[in-house]
Amino acid sequence: MCDTMVALPNVTKDGSVLFAKNSDREPNEAHIIKIIPATDYKAGSNVKCTYIEIPQVEHTYAVLLAKPFWIWGAEMGANEHGVVIGNEAVFTKVPYGKEPGLIGMDFLRLALERASDAKGALDTIVLLLEKYSQSGNCSYEHKLYYHNSYLIADRKEAWVLETVGRHWAALKIKDFYSISNALSITNNWDFVSKDLVKVAIERKWCRSKKDFSFSRSYSDYLFTHFSKGRERRECSMAFLKRNKSKINIKSMIKLLRSHGTDSSNWRPDKSLVEWSICMHKGFGPIRTSQSVGSFIAHLSQDGDTYWVTGTSAPCTGIFKPLWIDVDLPNMGPKPNNYFDQSSLWWRHEILHREVMKDYSNRISEYRNERDSLELKWIEVERRLINASKREREAFITETFQIAQDVTEDWIKKIKSSDIKKQNRFYYKFEWQGINSKAKLSL
């Protein structure tokens, strides 16, 4: 389960486009950051996606991807032209394709590699969707099938594209928008697939064209209800509305770290069914996923900068800058679903999972220091936006090294602090099993 949001130039503080997403996956499903350079291919070449091969184009653009370690595609990312995309799982009445095919994350990467603006990315996904449909297991450890929605933006405009099998609806965004794990387009689209309304009427999901709502007619009740996608979208939309004309990078960081309206009293074991934008795995079959990676795009005419945690749980992590034309800093070996102390993602899991043992008290041990570092880096990044590649590379290397050093300090500090508020026994039991599966001893 995930949340994605965008704010256009007319509602941001500096007239830029701001885009943000948390990627929610299984708790041991490590997330990786990857830059793939622009590449030329011979005519007739194929590209191997997660499950199947499709024809490759002759040229692909350079892309920055934030992705589950085992998937070819990505949950969020950007390309050299400043196109950014995030996808969401949506649950519908139309049966899901279970045979190996293109999954939502594949469409996202294909669009980034092939499109130079947001509308072109939308058209790319639609073209591939209508040709191949969408199918295949989207979970690493379990069986999970779903359809997809997308938030797509560039430096000038943004679109929401929501899909059901081969059917789809698209809406151009005016000020700001967010998507979660529920269809959001009703009857106010700009473009739709052929026979979208006709199919709903034939299957008695609505009475007539006048009565038709894409979201109401096509949504599955059970999974949509328990994912709390509508509630989380209401939360993010309300936040963006309250901060209209003041939205900046720090606003998006705050939103991605949100645990709801009463964050001051939040604790990870509080509820068996509660979902929040900053998602955390709970006990039982409902809160099954958590935020394993976070991504913010700052798109402006001066240049584009991307802020990533490279780790799970943005409420415990630290956002660091990246540029597509600058090599990634050393983040250790590519992580998988087993603990590896030399990997950035897994090393942070020690901090994250220790903090969760007494969240409200332990996060206070370093939150102010972390926030001060982020604010400092945001100020420096704006001054370096047009600096040489060498200067920007040095800055990125420095921020990642500082983040690594302070993480080590924070781990020591947290481990030496007393647990003042014990989590409920069933929550601790759940995480003992998760840690054991990852071969992580805490």
* Partners of 299 in the β-ladder: 17, 304
**Segment holding 148, helix H or strand E:** strand 147-153
- Token pair of 166, please? 């081969």
Closest CA to 86 of 143, 1, 10, 12: 1
Q: For residue 328, how many other CB atoms are within 10 A of its CB?
A: 17
49 tagged catalytic: no
Distance of CA 219 to the CA centre of its chain: 22
Closest CA to 267 of 199, 360, 354: 360
* Contact in structure between 402 and 374 (CB atoms under 8 Å): no
- Token pair of 405, please? 């050093």
153-186: string of b/e by CB count within 10 Å (b at 16+)? bbbebbbbbbbbbbbbbbbebebbbbbbbbbbbe
**Segment holding 87, helix H or strand E:** strand 84-90
Distance CA 167, CA 183 (A): 13
Q: Tell me the CA end-to-end span of the chain in Å, nearest whole number.
A: 26
Distance CA 36, CA 8 (A): 27
- Token pair of 169, please? 């609806």
Which one from 2, 138, 235, 315 is the annotated catalytic residue? 2
**Segment holding 240, helix H or strand E:** helix 229-242
Residues classed as catalytic: 2
